[in-house]
Amino acid sequence: MKRVAVVGVGQTKFRTRRDDKTHPELTREAVSRALEHAGITMDDVDAFVFGTMDPFDGINCPDRWSSTAAGFGKPFMKISTGGTTGLTTGIAAYQHVASGLFDVVVAVCTQRVGENVDAQPVLNTAVDPIYERYSGVGAISVAAIQATVHMQKYGTTEEQMAWVSVKDHENALKNPYAHIQKRLSVEDVLSSPVVSSPLKLYECCPRSDGSVAVVFASGEKAEEIRDNPAWILAESSISDSYFVGDRPDLAVWDSLTIAGRRLYRLAGIDDPKKDIDVAELYSPFTIQEILELEALGFAEKGEGAGLAEEGVTFVDGDMPTNPSGGVLCTNPIGATGLVRLGEASLQVMGEASNQVDGAEVALAHAWGGTLQFHALMLVSSHKKLRR
Amino acid sequence: MLTGFLQIVLYLLINNCYISEVLLLKVGIVGIGITSFGVHKEPFYNIAYEAAKKALEDAEMERHEIDNVVLGGYDVAVGRTISNMYTAPAAGGYLKDEIRVSDDAAYALALAYMRIKSGIFDVAMVLGYGHCSETPMELVELLSLDPFFHRDLGISYQMSYAMQSYAYRMRYGIDDETAAEVVVRARKRASKYEYAHVREEVTADEVLSSEMAIFPLRKLELPPWSDGCVALILAEETIAKRISSEPVWVEGLGWHTENYYLGSRDLAELFSTKKAAEKAYKMAGCDAKDVEAAEVMDLTPYHHLMALEALGFAASGRGKEVVESGFPVNSSGGALCTNAHGTTGLFLTASLALQIRDGRDRGIASAVSGYAAQNSIVTILGV
């Protein structure tokens, strides 16, 4: 298998609306920054992979329009898999290079959730019109069920969940691209209005507009391009059953456990807590970071809830999680997964805005559908896992 | 001594060229499943399931032998967002690695090829879906127009193809009769193809006297909107040879994207198809004269001719000579008879694979997507 590395990352500033730029202009902003970061030009790019979640941008197939900024005149492929889109776009770009067909490929995801009055009714069209649609299933409602079940089963408290939000918001203050930049206390979170019980406003992500681009290069090219590429160790995706009601237990995210185990096997990881230095997880709701840390083996089942409160997941803790401020502070839905990969890559390059000291192995994660999909990528400052 | 020398050379080749040997690995189609195309009223995941099941039965395989699923199709063409949510389990994706290309599913085949070629996966289920009866296609496709330059013009998807038809007609002096003849031949072939949607034969007079739909296209010169699914199972060479005595190999792939802005393009040529074909031929190491059959995504009879030219079978404006020559193009009836938006290209590719199984040595399939064929992907299959 060909070695592939991330050699450039570019992001736009994320905001509720980016009325200052059109879809292609946002795309171009991210791509230009990624190319500049890699020190290459558009001519060096062999192909583009574009990711977006279709109905959110107020335009169908915005990739066709946005290709004028990135991809026009080259091979161009469009990926869309719901919330995982950003990361599956990265995975597809990685596979473009790993196949040997292309040497330098740019993954770019642009999303303008601000074009919608409300994202949840759009998301609701994804679920089955006969069984689940009229229950109003969307992202927030299923996350609220996860929180309720986790609280009942493991005694997780609202304060513990609030600490996740405090930690992410603290981290976002250092990230110039983050959407919500506001210092919060546990009291602020707990006293914010309930959105979907037990989740409160500051436990839920914003809806963001923006774009992110990541440059992938084959081994030799990557070493030519920069001294500190982020080598891709492994990737893994999983697809669960369609109906939320078919999931055996919403207090655990067992499909993520399976995907994680597959990823660790591919990368040769025995103990994720020891071998992984930092994680960028897709947790638009506080409870989900807790579930993800447990599912991925960073905490025992039921014990993930205390990690933020104990300081473990803060940037100077033992398991820094979402040092970028995470999805809780920035969520351009179909681009969010690629932001996770970009931030994970910057961590192992040693160039992150909220750098974890000595980070060598970083995990990027995204979930999508109504808790149906997971995608994972593992990057490292070394070509192989070092212990 | 000579033997010893050869042994050393062989040793060096085997040990030093291992990686390039892996890169030379072929990828083959070992299972083909196509549903009927038309209007399907039952829950659509049943149709996706039927295609996947047929492909597995065709390959004599079980679901667990597939290690990844690559889906292809549009959300707008099935009336719900994240449409891979309901097609993934139907395609056998439960707890498997799965991804979806949101374009014509011919692109999904290309991605599956890369996933296998890289050595990451061994066996892929590629499933394309289109469910046009679920949604008013003309209206939702209008939403693809950017809000500044195109949207106020209200150009429908078919209008963009009609504009190309008109430009091509005017530049090369193509008459109504030539276009009608393409339709007559397409319908004739579709009448003999069990999977085609529109299978009634028509005469040239019927085409020429049918209602003018979008100038210069008459009603019988427009493709239908179809529902249906196509599944192909792809496997790396060594496994493919265990599964099938005659895998259909993916020999060439190329895809290309043209300028989005209609006003900045030469509408009389299928430039994206031409560029995609150049890449596919280069990868396959052949050209048009080495190809024995073609399946082209002819959303209009004029696109039938333009595609043949872009694929190198004729010079610009002379595609009609290929039609007259009897060269086997669109034995499936083509897009003019079956058009499930999102899987039309893969339907043609699968139809080509069936022809390769039936004895053709090499064939080429081209698909287009976007307004006025902005994007194109070309696949070369062979034995």
Would you kindly state where each structural domain of chain B is located, as residue ranges?
A: 26-135+229-243, 137-223+250-382
What lies within 8 Å, CB to CB, of B379 at 6+ separation is B106, B109, B110, B250, B252, B253, B280, B349, B352, B364, B365, B366, B367
Residue of B nearest to A74 (CA): B256
Query: Could you tell me the two tokens for A82?
Result: 């719901």
What size, in residues, is chain A?
387
Cβ-Cβ contacts under 8 Å, B21 against chain A:
none
Question: Could you check whether B26-135+229-243 and B137-223+250-382 share the same CATH topology?
Answer: yes
Q: Do B370 and A78 touch (CB under 8 A)?
A: no
Strands (E), chain B: 27-34, 68-72, 97-101, 123-131, 212-214, 217-218, 227-236, 248-257, 293-296, 362-369, 375-382
Rg (CA), chain A: 19
What's the CATH fold of domain B26-135+229-243? Peroxisomal Thiolase; Chain A, domain 1 (3.40.47)
Total beta-carbon pairs less than 8 A apart between chain A and chain B: 181
Q: Cβ contact (<8 Å) for A238 and B23?
A: no
Partners of A128 on chain B (C-beta within 8 Å) are 86
Kindly write down the DSSP assignment for every residue of A113-148, as one continuous string. Answer: GGGSS-HHHHHHTTS-TTTTGGGT--HHHHHHHHHH
Asked if the Cβ–Cβ distance from A126 to B254 is below 8 Å, we say no
> Measured between alpha carbons, how far is A13 from A24 in angstroms, rounded to an integer?
15
- Encoding tokens for residue B178? 């030539």
**Is-contact A220 A212, C-beta < 8 A?**
no
Show the low-confidence residues of chain A (pLDDT under 70): 387
pLDDT value of position A116: 85
CA closest to B139 among chain A residues: A60
Q: Is A84 exposed, middle or buried (0-12, 13-18, 19+ CB in 10 A)?
A: buried
- Determine, for residues B260 and A258 on separate chains, whether the beta-carbon distance falls below 8 Å: no
Output the CA torsion sign for A335, A337, A343, A349. Answer: negative
In angstroms, the CA B31 to CA A303 distance is 47
Which residues are bridge partners to A239 per DSSP? A373, B96
Q: How far apart are CA B161 and CA B354, in angstroms?
A: 28
Q: Which residues of B touch A130 (CB under 8 A)?
A: 43
A92 interface with B at CB cutoff 8 Å: yes
Nearest to A342 by CA among A125, A142, A107: A107
What's the confidence (pLDDT) of residue A216? 98
Structure tokens at A61: 């197939």
Place of tokens 């409300």: A118
- The answer to whether the Cβ–Cβ distance between B115 and A95 falls below 8 Å is yes
Total length of chain B: 383
Q: Do B147 and A58 touch (CB under 8 A)?
A: yes
Any CB–CB contact under 8 A between A60 and chain B?
yes
Round the CA-based radius of gyration of chain B to a whole number and report it: 21
**Burial group, residue A336, by CB count within 10 angstroms (0-12, 13-18, 19+):** buried
Number of domains present in the structure of chain A: 1
Which string of b and e fits A230-240 if b means at least 16 CB within 10 Å?
bbbbbbbbbbb
Task: Mark yes or no for CB contact B370/A61 under 8 Å.
Answer: yes
Give the pLDDT of chain B (383 residues) as one tens digit per residue.
Answer: 445 555 544 444 444 434 444 456 899 999 999 999 999 999 999 999 999 999 999 999 999 999 999 999 999 888 889 999 999 999 999 999 999 999 999 999 999 999 999 999 999 999 999 999 999 998 889 999 999 999 999 999 999 999 999 999 999 999 999 999 999 999 999 999 999 999 999 999 999 999 999 999 999 999 999 999 999 999 999 999 999 999 999 999 999 999 999 999 999 999 999 999 999 999 999 999 999 999 999 999 999 999 999 999 999 999 999 999 999 999 999 999 999 999 999 999 999 999 999 999 999 999 999 999 999 999 999 99
How far apart are the C-alpha atoms of B322 and A263, rounded to whole Å?
A: 51
- Contact between chains at A72 and B141 (C-beta distance less than 8 A): no
Cβ contact, residue pair A61, B102, below 8 Å: yes
CA distance A78 to chain B (A): 6
Q: Is A91 on the interface with B (CB under 8 A)?
A: yes
Mutate to test the interface with B, among A99, A108, A128, A373 (most CBs of B within 10 A): A99
* Cβ–Cβ contact A139 with B under 8 A: no
Contact B98, B69 (CB under 8 A): yes
Mutate to test the interface with A, among B27, B78, B84 (most CBs of A within 10 A): B84
A75 at interface of B, judged by CB pairs closer than 8 A = yes
Look up the CATH superfamily of B137-223+250-382: Thiolase/Chalcone synthase (3.40.47.10)
User: B183 to chain A nearest CA, in Å?
Assistant: 29
Give every CB contact of residue B31 below 8 A, 6+ residues apart in sequence.
B55, B56, B58, B59, B61, B231, B232, B233, B243, B244
The CATH number covering residue A35 comes to: 3.40.47.10
Instruction: Provide the residue range defining the domain that includes A113.
Output: 4-117+207-225
Contacts of B96 in chain A (CB under 8 A): 238-239
Interchain contact A101–B (C-beta under 8 A): yes
Q: Tell me, what's the pLDDT at A55? A: 79
Residue A181, judged by CB atoms within 10 A of its CB (0-12, 13-18, 19+), counts as middle
Cβ separation B74–A91 shorter than 8 A:
no
> Do residue A126 and residue B79 have CB atoms under 8 angstroms apart?
no
Confirm whether A63 is domain-assigned: yes
Pairing of strands A278-280, B68-72: unpaired
Residues 6 or more apart whose Cβ sits within 8 Å of residue B173? B317
Question: Is there a contact between B332 and B295 (Cβ–Cβ < 8 Å)?
Answer: yes
What tokens appear for B215 in the block?
A: 């100038």
C-alpha span between B126 and A109 (Å, rounded): 24
CA distance B338 to chain A (A): 22
Q: Is B185 helix (H, G, I), strand (E, B) or coil?
A: helix
Reference A81, options A111, A110, A54; nearest CA is A54
User: Do the chains contact at B79 and A125, CB–CB below 8 Å?
Assistant: yes
Please check whether residue A49 touches B, CB under 8 A.
no
- How far is the CA of A223 from the CAs of A90, A231, A384, B16, B62, in angstroms? 19, 10, 15, 22, 43
Distance between CA atoms of residues B347 and B101, nearest Å: 15
Q: What is the pLDDT of residue B3?
A: 52
Q: How far apart are the first and last CA of chain B?
A: 39
For residue B81, give every residue at least 6 positions away whose Cβ sits within 8 Å of its Cβ, in sequence order, or none: A53, A54, A55, A82, A122, A123, A125, A126, B75
Provide the token pair at B132: 């046009």
In whole angstroms, give the CA distance from residue B378 to residue A151. 53
Q: Which two tokens stand for residue B213?
A: 């739909």
- Residue A132, pLDDT score: 85
Report the helix count and the strand count for chain B, using DSSP H and E.
14, 11
Handedness of CA A281, A282, A284, A285 (dihedral sign): negative
Using alpha carbons, list the distances in angstroms from residue A301 to A283, A293, A304, A387: 17, 9, 7, 26
Q: Is residue A170 in a domain?
A: no
